């Protein structure tokens, strides 16, 4: 009997909109089975009325947390404690943290240090440290677009494998994700994409790592390499597919055949032409 990938979903209801829960569950279902579903908050608060309406529909267990001290986020504390209990008492392959609060960054780094994947979901106001710490982070405003196939394949293949333990140093344990669009459902333009040095370097190095002698790399292999480097999803830039992002940034050649798509850095092609001209 094969082992179903098991994911624990933990929701910071105080800092997450209830209207996106169906899209969150649909996205997570691409990577595994969501065996544990919990939402944390003070359920006596009228602020959580929206969540109360969806808990039973999606089999989410409400976890009551009273605000014992004014000004202190008791919900965050409860989620962190529960996550650590689950980490050591349950046979899990990954966690999903739904929040726009950077307080969960150390928790994400700790879970990843144990070799588990962490999927993050939050609004575009989410601070970058939390976004960067996750294995994969998706802005809630970007949900509804189809996930890039190469990213899904990579996540399914790697979620049950041991990750490289995070280094015990301050700051995110993974390469920071390139800055994405901060406006909902807006495509980042070519000029802005080219100006994003981290994004350009990430794409170029990923193509280079999978390229053949002529500089061509299969898009699937490129996507897999990217997913190992950073918390990255082309939808966060307004593009449903990685191919669309490569086209928009206009720094790469794209070639298709019946089964595959290949990309090549235009700089590589320019160097080849110069070399041929001097011969």
CB 151 within 8 Å of CB 219? no
Predicted confidence band at 174 (pLDDT cuts at 50, 70, 90)? very low
pLDDT score of 278: 55
More confident residue, 172 or 197: 197
Average pLDDT across the chain, whole number: 82
The total number of structural domains in the chain stands at 2
Rounded to a whole number, what is the distance in angstroms from the first to the last CA of the chain? 60
Long-range CB contacts (within 8 A, 24+) of 74-78: 74/42, 75/12, 75/13, 75/14, 75/40, 75/41, 75/42, 76/12, 76/101, 76/103, 76/104, 78/40
State the residue range of the domain holding 36. Answer: 6-158
How many whole angstroms separate alpha carbon 78 and alpha carbon 213?
Answer: 53
Collapse the DSSP code of 132 into the 3-class scheme (helix H, G, I; strand E, B; otherwise coil) and give the result.
Answer: helix
Angle between helix 219-229 and 242-249 (nearest 10) = 90
Q: Residue 127: pLDDT above 60? A: yes
Residue 138 in any domain: the answer is yes
Residues of the chain with pLDDT > 90: what percent? 52
Residues 149, 66 share a domain: yes
Across 55-64, 72-81, 116-125, 154-163, least confident range: 154-163
How many whole angstroms separate alpha carbon 75 and alpha carbon 254?
Answer: 47
Residues 108, 50 share a domain: yes
CATH assignment at residue 214: 3.30.420.610
pLDDT score of 190: 92
What is the largest distance, in Å, between two alpha-carbon atoms of the chain? 78
Residue 119 in any domain: the answer is yes
Residues 195, 83 share a domain: no
Out of 108, 140, 158, pick the residue that ends a domain.
158
CB 41 within 8 Å of CB 75? yes
């Amino acid at each position: 009997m094969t082992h179903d990938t098991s994911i624990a979903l933990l929701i910071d209801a105080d800092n997450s909109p209830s209207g996106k829960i169906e899209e969150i569950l649909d996205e997570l279902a691409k990577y595994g089975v969501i065996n544990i579903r919990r939402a944390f908050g003070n359920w006596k608060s009228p602020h959580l009325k929206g969540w109360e309406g969806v808990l039973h529909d999606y089999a989410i267990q409400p976890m009551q947390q009273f605000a014992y001290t004014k000004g202190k986020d008791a919900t965050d504390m409860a989620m962190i404690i529960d996550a650590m209990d689950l980490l050591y008492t349950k046979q899990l392959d990954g966690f999903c943290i739904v929040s726009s609060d950077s307080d969960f960054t150390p928790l994400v780094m700790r879970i990843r240090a144990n070799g588990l994947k962490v999927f993050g979901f939050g609004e575009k106001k989410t601070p970058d440290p939390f976004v960067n710490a996750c294995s994969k982070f998706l802005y809630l405003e970007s949900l509804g677009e189809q996930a890039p196939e190469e990213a899904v394949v990579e996540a399914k293949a790697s979620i049950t494998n041991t990750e490289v333990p995070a280094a015990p140093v301050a700051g995110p344990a993974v390469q920071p994700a390139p800055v994405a669009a901060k406006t909902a459902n807006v495509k980042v333009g070519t000029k802005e994409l080219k100006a994003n040095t981290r994004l350009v370097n990430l794409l170029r190095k990923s193509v280079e790592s999978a390229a053949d002698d002529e500089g061509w790399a299969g898009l699937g292999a490129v996507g897999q390499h990217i997913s190992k480097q950073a918390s990255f999803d082309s939808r966060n830039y307004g593009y449903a597919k990685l191919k669309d992002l490569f086209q928009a940034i206009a720094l790469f050649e794209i070639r298709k055949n019946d089964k595959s798509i290949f990309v090549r850095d235009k700089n590589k092609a320019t160097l080849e032409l110069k070399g041929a001209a001097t011969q």
